[in-house]
Amino acid sequence: MASLFQSKPIGDVVTNISKSFGIPQNLVYPVKNYTKELTLDTGVDILALLALRQMLFCAEDHIDNAQMRGAMSAMAVGGGDHENASESA
């Protein structure tokens, strides 16, 4: 964490967010707002893209888990016999 943040205030914000929401610091992704910048910075772009990639990974995991829970509950309700249940419907 310390090697990523050269700015102590940003590191402090990450620590505060981590404590406030109860999530690990390595899951807090600070992203710089570019609205008033005239030029782009590759280092900032890379951090923003890494944050986006991690968000997409988390979203994919959430969808996979939701689908698995749905399948498990369908098996519990239907007795686990999906073929016969779909044919009789």
Rounded alpha-carbon distances, angstroms, from residue 4 to 31, 44, 83: 12, 11, 52
Q: Let me know: does 12 contact 20? Beta carbons within 8 Å.
A: no
Residue 35's pLDDT is what? 79
The pLDDT tens digits for 8-58 are 888 899 999 999 999 999 888 888 887 788 888 887 788 888 889 998 998
Residue 60's pLDDT is what? 95
Does the structure show a pLDDT above 50 at 2? no
**Does pTM surpass 0.75?**
no
